[in-house]
Structure 1
Amino acid sequence: MKISFYVLSESKAQDFLGFICQLTQTALNKSTQSLMILVDDETLLSTLNEALWSQDATSFIPHQCLSDIHPEATDYDANKSLAPVLLGSYMPADFNGIVLNTTTRPVTDFMAATNNAKPSRVLELIRPDATSTQEGRHKYKAYQQLGYELTHFKV
C-alpha cells in the first residue's frame, strides 16, 4: 500500500476544508477508484459535507455520508457506490479504494476493525502544529513498521 503524507503550510492549514476539497478533486481526476474520507470529528464531517457540495462556484464533488446509509444495509458495497466519495468515521467492509485520513489514528486501525478492507492508497494530512506533527510521526512509524511505501509532500 502507498502512503502519502501531505505536510501543510500555514496557509493550507488555514484553509483546511479547501485543501481537502482540492486533494479530493485531484485524486478523483487521477484515479477511477472510489475515495473514502475518514473523519472522526462530527463538526468537521458536517462542514466538509457542505464544502464538498459547494467546492467551487461552478462545480461540486458528489459524495455520500456513511451515516446516511441505514445500518441494516450490511450488503452496502462502497466500491460500487453511485457517489465517488464517501465520508465517515469507519471504513466499509471490502473497501479497496483511496483513503484520505483526517483522523489522529493510522488507517490500519480502521482496517483492523473492518472486514477485508484493503485500501490501495492512503493520503495523510499533517497540519503545522506540534500535536498534528507528533500524530504524523506516530502514523509514519506505524506504516513504516508494516513495510508500506511512504512518500511526503510539503504543500
Structure 2
Amino acid sequence: MNVSFYVLTENKAQDFLGFVCQLTQTALNKSNQSLLILIDDDELLATLDKALWVQEATSFIPHQCLLDSNIEGTDINVVHTDINYKVLAPVLLSPYMPANFKGMVLNTTIHPVNTFISATINAQPTRVLELIKPDATSVQEGRHKYKSYQKLGYELTHFNV
C-alpha cells in the first residue's frame, strides 16, 4: 500500500477545509476508486460535509456520511450502494472503516489507518493520504504514523504543500 504524507504550509493549514476539498477532487479526478475520509471529530465532519457541497460555484463533490455507530463494521456494499449495488457516492465521510472497503483513505484522525482495520472488517485500502499541519502536535502524530506504516512495509512518500 502507498501512503502519501502531505505536509501543509501555514497557509494551507489555515484553509484546511479548502485543502481537503481540493485533495478530494484531485483524488477523484485521478482514480476511479472510492475515497473514504476518516474523521473522528463531529464538528469537522459536519463542516466538511457542507464544504463538499459548495466546493466550486458550478459543482459539488458527491458524498455520503456514515454517522450511525450502530452500523459500524457494516458491509460497504450495504451502506454505499443501492439495492442493485450501484455506487451512490464516490466519497464517504466516516468516523470508522466500513467492512470490505476497498479504495483510497484520506485520514484526518490522529491514528494510523491500520488501527481502524481488523479481521472482521476485511477492508483493504489501496492508498492512504495523511495530512500534517505545521504545529508540534500534528508533526509528532505524523511521525508516529510514519513509523507505524514503515514497520508494516508500506511505500511512503511525502509532499510539501
The two structures share one fold, judged by TM-score above 0.5: yes
Report the Cα offset of residue 58 of structure 1.
1.1
Kindly tell me: are residues 5 and 114 of structure 1, through their superposed partners in 2, closer, same or farther at Cα, counting changes over 3 Å?
farther
Kindly tell me: are residues 143 and 26 of structure 1, through their superposed partners in 2, closer, same or farther at Cα, counting changes over 3 Å?
same
Q: How does 1:3-152 map to 2 (within 5 A)?
A: 3-67=3-67, 71=71, 74-77=74-77, 78=80, 81-112=87-118, 115-152=121-158
Deviations 1:9-60, CA, capped at 9 Å, x for gaps? 0000000000000000000000000000000000000000000011111110
Deviations 1:85-118, CA, capped at 9 Å, x for gaps? 0001001101010000000000000013751101
% identity of equivalent residues: 72
- The 1-side partners of 2:96 and 2:69 are apart by 12
Count of equivalent residues:
155
| TM, length-normalised to structure 2 | 0.90
Q: Which runs of 5+ in 2 are unaligned?
A: none
Q: Which runs of 5+ in 1 are unaligned?
A: none
Runs (4+) of structure 1 exceeding 2 A deviation are: 68-76, 78-81
- The alignment's C-alpha RMSD in Å is 2.0
SS for the counterpart of 2:153 is coil
Contact 2:45 2:93 in 1 (8 A): yes
| TM, length-normalised to structure 1 | 0.94
